[in-house]
Chain A
Amino acid sequence: MHEMAIAQGILDIVLKTAAENDATKVTGIKLLIGQMTQIQPESLQFGFEALSIGSIAEGANLEIKIVPLVGQCNSCRQEFSIERYCFVCPHCNSTSVHLVSGRELTVEYLEVE
């Protein structure tokens, strides 16, 4: 249940950003969550609702976009979708693969008044 810690991290970023922009109410929060993170959207939603009570972010709509797990081969340079967490290039069998996306835990933008 580390979603509570993640929700606290989101709330800290949201309140700081809102204050810097003189916002009086946060109505929406867009999150980018990578496929290879271990976030349960329902738990995150629950945690955020509980933590944001009484703040200007109370009642804000949490929109979560799941970012797919994509790798790129360091040998043949091709990009591919990673299936079954297999970090081996399906084109040339190289095991030298880096992540292009899928580990995001990012606040993308806020909707404020």
Chain B
Amino acid sequence: MQIKVMTNILDSNDQVAAAVHERLSAAGIFVINLLGSPGCGKTSLLENTIAGLKNEISMAVIEGDLFTAKDAERIEQYGVPVVQINTGGGCHLDANMVNNVLDSLDLRALDLIVIENVGNLVCPAEFNIGEDVKVTVLSITEGEDKPLKYPLIFKQASVVILNKVDLLPYTSFDMQAAITDITSINPDALLVQASCRSGVGLPAWYDWLKEQIRIKQARSM
């Protein structure tokens, strides 16, 4: 006997993600799922963002990591609330993991939560975790071929940050090719060329972020 099913395999994850999103939206919190390879500069972007915007916006960080608390320890020094999720070797965060840590944050006090996903260009792109948007970081030293090799993570992103532009003179990175490929995969993405070491390019990211938080708060009122 044949039974017709037609059920999305990610349905149960998506239902939890929708509940997380609803809870955080009701509190007026803008939520980012921060993606990128190990070493691309996700944590450095967070450190800069906290230092640059701490006086203007109230934020918390959820750190996804395989086994360690190294990133959370870095973030803690900046004096913002940080929660660690260890996936125990798992290659991505899922919505349940995020849902399980929400109670350890004071949601009434927050404008922004950034969830730093496990460093990986493949798996995290498939799983919604309750975010408003995905932001993908690609560093110059990874090479301009990565968008076409891992298109989904660039397709899903509202912002793509090309980090480490200060290293451009020392690499053969083809910026024009990178921009062409990312734009053809995702014509709507905001592209930011930045260096988390020198700070160049980051003001465009801060402006975008502040605008998104303003829009989110206006909607939740």
Contacts and interface: CB of A to CB of B under 8 A. Distances in A.
A69 B10 CA distance: 19
A12 B96 CA distance: 16
B2 interface: yes
Nearest to B92: A2
Residues of B in contact with A, size category:
20 to 34
A85 B184 contact: yes
A2 B127 contact: yes
Interface in B145-200: 148, 151-152, 155, 184-188
B9 A38 contact: no
Interface string B1-33: 111111111111100000000000000000000
A111 B5 contact: no
Interface string A66-95: 000000000000000000111110000001
Given A23-B3, A37-B152, A106-B6, A2 B126 contact: yes
Contact of B9 (A10, A21, A97, A112): A10
Interface string A11-33: 01100011001010000000100
Given A21-B3, A23-B3, A37-B152, A105 B9 contact: yes
A85 B148 contact: yes
A107 B7 contact: yes
Nearest to A84: B148
A5 interface: yes
A13 B148 CA distance: 32
A113 interface: yes
Contact of A87 (B92, B125, B186): B186
A108 B6 contact: yes
Contacts of A96: 187
A13 B91 contact: no
Interface in B122-144: 122-123, 125-127
A17 B11 CA distance: 14
B116 interface: no
Contacts of B186: 87
Interface of B: 1-13, 90-92, 94, 122-123, 125-127, 148, 151-152, 155, 184-188
3 closest A-B pairs by beta carbon, nearest first, are A95-B187, A2-B123, A85-B151
Given A1-B91, A2-B122, A97-B187, 8 more contacts: A5-B92, A9-B12, A31-B9, A38-B123, A85-B151, A105-B126, A112-B1, A112-B3
18 contacts: A1-B91, A2-B91, A2-B126, A5-B94, A6-B9, A13-B5, A13-B7, A17-B7, A36-B155, A87-B155, A87-B184, A105-B9, A107-B5, A109-B3, A109-B5, A110-B5, A111-B1, A112-B1
